[in-house]
Amino acid sequence: MQSTGIPERNRLTQSLLGGKVQVGLWQLYKILKKNEDLKARRHPMFEKNRFMKFLAWFLIIYYAAILLLMGVMMPTAMKGAYNGVAAFHVLDGGLIYFILTDFWLRFVLQETPAQQAKPYSLLPIRRSFLMNVYLAHAGFSLGNMFWAFFLVPFGAIAIWPLMGFWAFLSWLIGWWLLFIANGYAYLFVRALCMKHIAWALLPAAIHAGLLALMFVPEKNLLDMPCTEFMYAFAKIQLWPYLVAFALITFFYLINFWLQTKMVYNEVAQKEEVEMKHTTQMNFLNRYGAMGEYLKMEIKLRMRNKQVRMGFIIALCAMLFFSAMLYFTDVYDGTFMKSFICLYDYVLLGVMTLPTIMCYEGNYIDGLMSRRQSIYDLLRAKFYFNSISILIPLLFILPLVFIDKISLWMNLGYLFFTAGVLYPCFFQMAVYNKDTLPLNQKITAKQANTMQQIVTLVAMFLPILIEKIAILILGNPGGYFALIAMGLVGLATHKIWLRNIYTRMMQRRYVNMEGFRATRNF
């Protein structure tokens, strides 16, 4: 910072307005950070998010405690398990497992920070600086340190006594650097997937290649190199650091290049303006107004990047898990069969229903100025989702034919999803008041914490209910109960949808205010 004698505020203002006095990068970083904090604090969902964030933190602490426990117990368990090899060498040999698990878990757990390029695009702030801030945030994210709950106790027990504190610290830093690199690799792939979902095949192919090197040859080809690599960190040698920094730099730079390009294309709305063809869907005309709302639901998914992306991801995930269950015996356990069957059915709903009405927040005033339109829209959404459930049925039927999943479990989850889980998801229509952008991907915001928690609950609660039903009524009696519950939900859909509509209309002013306030947030 130059010493100009100008009061600090004036200097910042001059800089932002293009004056000659330049503000320091650190101060600019602080301004951007402050704006981000203000944005979060002034968000209409802040109060609700705060409660849900508390729940999310509770879950984090829970899993951290499990990792901590494993970190304490595993050194003893591993010691001597492999002909006297030190426990940390055994762990280091499994480096690839950690990297792969960390990478794919990020798709589920990591909230991709939304790019905030647009508000600053006309200010005299260098684009590269904004991107550096974004990437620095991602690199120093606390998420990259989550494994420390496991690695710190493990290293403290397995390395510190043998090699001393500095070896332990260097080893930890080594892991941390690799997770940072992995985080950047994830960001890169995620950005590519937003261009086209097929890019998910890139890491899948690379990771499959790594696994092949471990499992196909008689001897694991990656075990020793990984052990040596991490051991070199513990010995505080320079070369592993150089490798780690080279990886970080590589992924940082390709992220920088790709994300800059994508963000500014999106902000500039470089989109194909003319459509090649428009779909008429005349077959829905016979259903009158309901047919029109159904067309709208279909077009919502076809023509909006954000929504379409969720739909495609759900299809790919369904296909992947069903194929894994079909072709391998990795998931042959009872729990995993139940989970995959449920996962397939619930996934399409999970991708859109926790945020139900959030996309409609973009044109809520138009809907609200027409009679009953929200009720008809809710019905169309229910019919659309109920019909869509036939897609996972197609994926699961082959599993039924080869006896990996029972017919009753299949039908149980199908009806339970449509008749019980969907009504639960639809309750969110009463409370959601946060507009989600339809067509942005990189700069778009994420679902709020409450919606994420609802999603998580939907993924596991039904399994608990299934287990309880089977415990009480046996097999297939438990599944008959699930089917019965589902049928009741389906048969009464007009009643509970009307109830949701009535409650939503009672909260309409609060919701509409929220939708308006968050429309361009």
Partner 1 sequence: MQIQINNLKKCFGEKVAVNIDSYTIHSGEMLGLVGNNGAGKSTLFRLMLDLIKADNGDVHMAGNFQETDVDVNVAETEQWKDWTGAYIDESFLIDYLTPDEYFQFIARISGISSDDLKTFLDRFSHFMADEVIGQKKLIRNLSAGNKQKVGIIAAMLLRPQVLILDEPFNFLDPSSQSAIKHLLTKYNQETGATILISSHNLQHTVDICPRIALLEHGIIIRDIDNRDGQAQTELEDYFQITD
Q: Which residue stretch of 154-162, 266-274, 310-318, 425-433 sits at the interface with partner 1 (rule: CB under 8 A)?
A: 266-274
**Backbone dihedral region of 474: left (phi > 0), alpha (psi from -120 to 50 degrees) or beta?**
left
Binding flag, residue 62, partner 1 (CB under 8 A): no
State in angstroms the smallest separation of the CB of 427 from partner 1: 22
CA angle 446, 450, 456 (to 5 degrees): 90
Q: In the complex, what is the shortest distance from the CB of residue 338 to partner 1, in angstroms, rounded to a whole number?
A: 37
Beta carbon nearer to partner 1, 472 or 510: 510
Least distance from C-beta 94 to partner 1, angstroms?
A: 47
Q: How far is the CB of 12 from partner 1 (least distance, A)?
A: 28
User: Least distance in Å: CB of 518 to partner 1?
Assistant: 12
Tokens of 93: 């040999």
- Beta-carbon contacts of residue 205 (< 8 Å; ≥ 6 apart): none
Minimal distance, residue 39 CB to partner 1, in Å: 20
Structure tokens at 50: 């705060």
Residue 328: what residue type?
A: T
118 near partner 1, rule: CB under 8 A: no
Identify which of residues 255 and 440 has a Cβ nearer to partner 1 in the complex: 440
Q: Binding to partner 1 by residue 74, rule CB under 8 A?
A: no
Contact between 391 and 318 under an 8 Å Cβ cutoff? The reply is yes
Q: Which of 48, 195, 299, 503 binds partner 1 (CB under 8 A)?
A: 299
Task: Determine which residue in the list 170, 182, 255, 304 makes contact with partner 1, applying CB under 8 A.
Answer: 304
Amino acid identity for residue 506 in this structure: Q
User: Nearest 10 degrees: CA dihedral of 426, 428, 430, 435?
Assistant: -120
Contact 197, 312 (CB under 8 A): yes
Residue 311's Cβ-count burial label (10 Å; 0-12, 13-18, 19+) is: buried
What backbone phi and psi angles, to 5 degrees, belong to 273?
Answer: -80, -40
Closest distance between partner 1 and the C-beta of residue 351, in Å? 18
DSSP 146: T
**Are 490 and 410 spatial neighbours (Cβ–Cβ below 8 Å)?**
no
Tell me which stretch binds partner 1 (CB under 8 A): 98-106, 126-134, 202-210, 275-283: 275-283
Chain centre distance of CA 344: 17
Which window, 93-101, 161-169, 286-294, 336-344, contacts partner 1 (CB under 8 A)? 286-294
Supply the minimum distance, in Å, between the C-beta of residue 301 and partner 1: 10
The DSSP element (H or E) to which 7 belongs, if any, is none
- Residues 358-377 touching partner 1, rule: CB under 8 A, are 362-366, 368-373, 376
Q: Which of 3, 277, 328, 464 binds partner 1 (CB under 8 A)?
A: 277
Contacts for 451 with CB less than 8 Å, ≥ 6 apart: 354, 355, 428, 432
311 binds partner 1 (CB under 8 A): no
Number of residues that bind partner 1 (CB under 8 A): 38
CA dist., res. 467 & res. 230, Å (int): 43
Nearest to 60 by CA among 110, 9, 129, 117: 110
Q: Which of 218, 274, 329, 403 binds partner 1 (CB under 8 A)?
A: 274
Alpha helices in 140-198 (DSSP H): 148-158, 160-163, 165-195
Token pair, residue 64, equals 């951290």
Please return the burial class of 354, using the count of CB atoms within 10 Å of its CB with bins 0-12, 13-18 and 19+.
Answer: buried
Nearest-approach distance from CB 203 to partner 1, in angstroms: 31
Nearer to partner 1 (CB atom), residue 41 or residue 277:
277
Specify whether the CB–CB gap between 378 and 500 falls below 8 A: yes
**Smaller CB separation from partner 1, 211 or 312:** 312
Q: Check residue 292 for interaction with partner 1 (CB under 8 A).
A: yes
Q: What is the number of other CB atoms lying within 10 angstroms of the CB of residue 215?
A: 10
Tell me how far, at minimum, the Cβ of 444 lies from partner 1, in Å: 15
User: Nearer Cβ to partner 1, position 111 or 365?
Assistant: 365
Angle at 273 between CA 268 and CA 274, to 5 degrees: 170
Separation of alpha carbons 71 and 152, rounded Å: 7
Nearer to partner 1 among residue 190 and residue 379 (C-beta): 379
Q: Is position 39 an interface residue for partner 1 (rule: CB under 8 A)?
A: no
Phi-psi region of 79 (alpha: psi -120 to 50; beta: other; left: phi over 0): beta
Question: Under a CB-based contact definition with an 8 Å cutoff, are residues 458 and 424 in contact?
Answer: yes
79 interacts with partner 1 by CB under 8 A: no
Rg, Å, the chain Cα set: 26
| Residue 366 C-beta: closest distance to partner 1, Å | 4
Q: Does 296 bind partner 1 (CB under 8 A)?
A: yes
According to CB under 8 A, which one of 300, 418, 428, 450 is a site residue for partner 1?
300
- Output the six-digit token pair for 313: 């991801």
Binding segment for partner 1 (CB under 8 A), chosen from 33-41, 86-94, 256-264, 270-278, is: 270-278
Binding to partner 1 (CB under 8 A): which residues in 451-510?
Answer: 509
Q: Does 288 bind partner 1 (CB under 8 A)?
A: yes
Of 219 and 277, the one with the shorter C-beta distance to partner 1 is: 277
Q: Which is nearer to partner 1, 128 or 285 (CB)?
A: 285
| Contact status: 273 vs partner 1 (CB under 8 A) | yes
Examine residue 271 and tell whether it contacts partner 1 (CB under 8 A).
yes
Residues 432-461 that bind partner 1 (CB under 8 A): 438-439
Question: Which of 309, 481 has the CB closer to partner 1?
Answer: 309
Q: Which residues bind partner 1 (CB under 8 A)?
A: 271, 273-278, 285, 288-289, 291-293, 295-296, 299-300, 303-304, 362-366, 368-373, 376, 438-439, 509, 512-513, 516, 519
